[in-house]
Structure 1
């Protein structure tokens, strides 16, 4: 099995590319989706998060705005939250791998792959990338996004140029969708050269 790490900065189109891998029959583990499920209504992390950060959970799951305000700028609080979340995500990932043990290729969709040292757990890395002006326009079109929030998010992420330099593959998304889809197909063909024979 080849484990491909898929990453990219905010607004680069990673979700679109992950969907293209899925459409091509490649199993995709979405780290963000796993976190949302663990912290959503009835999520198994709710009791531990409520104990660590009282008042941040409810029937709808974690109140992300309240939890974010509680931990923002507090490194020790962030570490406490990560100590709750990361082991649970690792368990979800292990279950995903067990369920797809026969797959020749799997994708780990991890937004903060480089920032969290996640590159050590994959065999190859694909970075989703677009021109800075395209990225900016996409992100600022999101509800509730401001230039200040965007700048703060970018400041916490490895720069796009660094990600591209460290990647095995770069998948462009500031081109027509067909070209992005072709780039995904080339990555799959490169990693699984005998699949089409």
Structure 2
């Protein structure tokens, strides 16, 4: 039976970078956040988003992720409504994807809100990627071209590292790339021995 290993971390922690390192080691990686983004543009979901969040989050008839973010990250109820549209569809897609990778000893499910969405309950173990808060803020500001205030708003909608640590079996601190690679390799070796 293929084990499901969750991989999560707060915004700017570098969880996607860590996921890529696991993928380079031959581990199948499912990017839940990427799937959530592509689901947003399917006609059925776009219509539901329009009904839920209104016409203002669309540009030229297409969902505008920046506009959606500005609405949902300042209104927890709207965020919950959006998640209720997106997450069940991502979960269904992941189920199909897992079947396609059933020969792998374990797969990794990368998701920003693995604990918040309840998806961690379907995982055999969870890897948490951490980095100092100021490092994370700087990374997101540089990556997304957003203000410090906008980053802090997004962070406020995610659990803290402290909340996640108690529920995570493996922790990778992502500050220095070479050091992170060593931690990924050590975790990979652990997973091959312990989770199998």
CA contact (8 A) 1:46 1:57 kept: no
Alignment correspondent of 1:178: 178
Per the normalisation by structure 2, the TM-score is 0.85
Q: Structure 1 unaligned runs (5+)? A: none
Alignment correspondent of 1:119: 120
User: How far off is 1:51 after superposition?
Assistant: 3.8
Distance 2:141 2:66 in 1: 19
Alignment correspondent of 2:45: 45
- Determine helix, strand or coil for the equivalent of 1:170: strand
Per the normalisation by structure 1, the TM-score is 0.85
Q: Structure 2 unaligned runs (5+)? A: none
RMSD: 2.4
User: How far off is 1:13 after superposition?
Assistant: 0.8
Distance change >3 Å, CA 26–CA 147, structure 1 → 2: same
Deviations 1:70-96 (A, max 9, x none): 445444433332232122111111111
Greater Cα shift, 149-158 or 53-62: 53-62
Alignment correspondent of 1:109: 110
Distance 2:153 2:75 in 1: 15
Distance 2:154 2:68 in 1: 17
Q: Which has the higher helix share?
A: 2
Distance change >3 Å, CA 167–CA 150, structure 1 → 2: same
Distance 2:130 2:15 in 1: 8
Distance change >3 Å, CA 54–CA 112, structure 1 → 2: same
